[in-house]
Structure 1
Amino acid sequence: MKIDRPRINLSAEAFEIEAGDLAGYAAMAGDELDAIGNFWGEDKEGVTFFKGQGGGMGYEAVTGQVMEGLGVFHSAHREVATRLRMMADSVTVADWESVAAILVALPPPDPGKPVWGTL
């Protein structure tokens, strides 16, 4: 079994670059919206747009959700990069002969029994 550690590390680097780009684009978009200011106005329609109506979410709540989601997405990119590097490092120190011996000794899969994590 051949594992291309440099390629795995390049993939990790790509995820880190994307995480930085994502954070930069989100900050730039936020700055542009902040520069516009209170574009919805203070009239009834503007307040409804900002706060929502009839239990629906308005701009304020949705913006908060978007920012939270972008934060999670940014963190996920960084975590993927970290785990890719850990995987590349683990491949170096793994005893692949033992892994192969264990896999050969396992019984064949039973199609009637689900595999871990599947439905």
Structure 2
Amino acid sequence: MVAKKKTATSKTAREQDKLVESLRQFIRAKGPSYLTDPNVNSIGIGYRKKGGKQTKELTLQFTVGVKADGDELEALDATPLPETIRVDGSTCRPMSFSAVTSLSSSWCPRRRPRAVNGAWTPLSRV
């Protein structure tokens, strides 16, 4: 049987678990500072999408009220999200989603985190 070559982007389950825990710690420690931005509604962990398809790369995901650049951000009194974020020595390229297009219309961007079946929902702006 021919063994599969391990690519640079493939990770073992242990590495993936370590990355998830590092991203969780980052969200707990620095998430509240991002949520002070009036355009940032929530921060979570998810798989990167490229060309409309989900990849196997885990990343930070920001839900924003409006995807905007430059002058539009100034008008919203918001700051741009960083291109990259360092998490435990690794570089993470965060993604952002518009709350209007990514979530159902019943979602409220100002809700408090709450426990559902013993698990907490993603960190949201209070």
Same fold per TM (> 0.5)?
Answer: no
TM-score by structure 2 length?
Answer: 0.27
Higher helix share: 1
TM-score by structure 1 length?
Answer: 0.28
Higher relative contact order (CA 8 A, sep 6+): 1
| Structure of greater Rg | 1
